[in-house]
Amino acid sequence: VQPAITGSGVFTPPEVITNEELVVAYNAHAEAFNAAHAGAIAAGEMEARAPSSPEFILGASGIERRHVMDKAGVLDPQVMHPILRARGDDEPGIMTEIALDACGTALAQAGREAGEIDLVICAASNHERPYPAIAIEIQQALGAGGFAFDMNVACSSATFGIQAAADMIRSGSARRALVVSPEICSGHLEWRDRDCHFIFGDVCTALVIEAAEEAKGAHFRILSTRCATKFSNNIRNNNGFLRRTRPGHMADRRDMLFVQEGRRVFKEVLPLVSAHILGHMAEEAVGAADLRRLWLHQANKTMNDFIGRKVMGRVPEAHEQPNILQDYANTSSAGSIIAFSQYSDDLDPGDRGLICSFGAGYSVGSVLVERG
């Protein structure tokens, strides 16, 4: 059995925050913080919060704006996080809600009903609860059969999810899968930290994966997948269930949100990813000239430019390595799938491309596909 991607969908939250709006909110927060702690700052006991700027953000990352589930809370200098309606245990959670939207689009593209799905993988970097699995709630809300489970490999969740689904379809344990990545990064970002306040946005992507011979229309055959991991603390989150067992755990909440050593990540991940993609291509006897497109993880434009150059052996044309991060920011595992979903229609049968994620872990996942 040759597995294939037969449908893709992206749910994009309607609310947008531009860099300019973000910086106004952050700078107001920083000014208020500095005023409130003027004494301690003057005495050298505390560091003043320096202002952010739209120019820095665009130059350092390539991000121009991001979509979020709640703009008002994030931009309120007194709040600085999204405010989302609390839901009862008997109503669908917010991750399920956005997953249904993205799955609906993917199913329509594949020409499939939800009842024909027998595997749902919710592959994301933050699940709103540990159990019951979000994927099982999505399975029920859709009316899908079979089985469902959650998995988390941070930014690489979607590509690792594609590998898991493709392997299960090949082995016969599932016939037709949805790999869905609801990423509500805004709930997990420290918007009061200027080093990272601009990095993330919210979105949900979904893919239908089934045997190529069952595809009803245009599709992408999954030729091969390759996943790799290497432990690193440079991107870390300590918000696990054991947190209340740590003495003084409520005093400092900072490490329960997203924390990273951005420069080190940048330097260490680039060679890892370039070597990973080149190794995968060599293994499959695929050369740069055989690839029409790279759909890369969407964290940073300079990072993608570097990887594109290494992989292609020249500066890639914009259409060969499309970025979406200027509009979405980093959406964790969803980034490369948004790029794939928005920039794959124009490929011709037989054209090949490569989806690649990378992120915390570290993890790298690449998927070599061919238009069917």
**Annotated catalytic sites, by residue?**
155
Which span sits near ligand CO8 by CB under 6 A: 28-36, 92-100, 187-195, 310-318? 187-195
Instruction: Read off the amino acid at residue 138.
Output: I
Residue 60 binds ligand CO8 (CB under 6 A): yes
User: What's the CA gap between 184 and 67, in Å, rounded?
Assistant: 10
8 A C-beta contact, residue 224 and residue 248: no
Residue count at the site for ligand CO8 (CB under 6 A)? 29
Interaction between residue 334 and ligand CO8 (CB under 6 A):
no
Which residues from 123-142 bind ligand CO8, rule CB under 6 A?
A: 125
Per rule CB under 6 A, is residue 66 in the interface with ligand CO8?
Answer: no
Q: Which is nearer to ligand CO8, 161 or 359 (CB)?
A: 359
CA distance 199 to 142: 32
Question: Residue 224 is inside which H or E element, if any?
Answer: strand 220-229
> Which residues does 317 contact at the CB level (< 8 Å), separation at least 6?
none
Q: How far is the CB of 22 from ligand CO8 (least distance, A)?
A: 9
C-alpha to C-alpha distance for 46 and 141, rounded to whole angstroms: 50
User: Does 263 contact ligand CO8 by CB under 6 A?
Assistant: yes
Closest residue to ligand CO8, based on beta-carbon distance: 359
Q: Give Cβ neighbours of residue 282 (< 8 Å, ≥ 6 apart).
A: none
Distance CA 63, CA 20 (A): 11
272 in contact with ligand CO8 (CB under 6 A): no
Distance CA 319, CA 116 (A): 35
Residue closer to ligand CO8 (CB basis): 193 or 351: 193
332 near ligand CO8, rule: CB under 6 A: yes
CB 201, min distance to ligand CO8, A: 9
- 66 versus 176: smaller Cβ distance to ligand CO8: 66
The Cα–Cα gap between 219 and 198 comes to 35
53 binds ligand CO8 (CB under 6 A): yes
Structure tokens at 93: 């959670």
Rounded distance between C-alpha atoms, residue 220 and residue 326, angstroms: 26
Residue in the block written with tokens 């600085």:
80
| Among 133, 151, 360, 364, interactor with ligand CO8 by CB under 6 A | 360
Instruction: Establish if 227 lies at the interface with ligand CO8 (CB under 6 A).
Output: no
Interacting residues toward ligand CO8 by CB under 6 A: 52-53, 56-57, 60-61, 125, 154-155, 185, 188-189, 194-195, 198, 200, 235, 258, 260, 262-263, 265-266, 299-300, 330, 332, 359-360
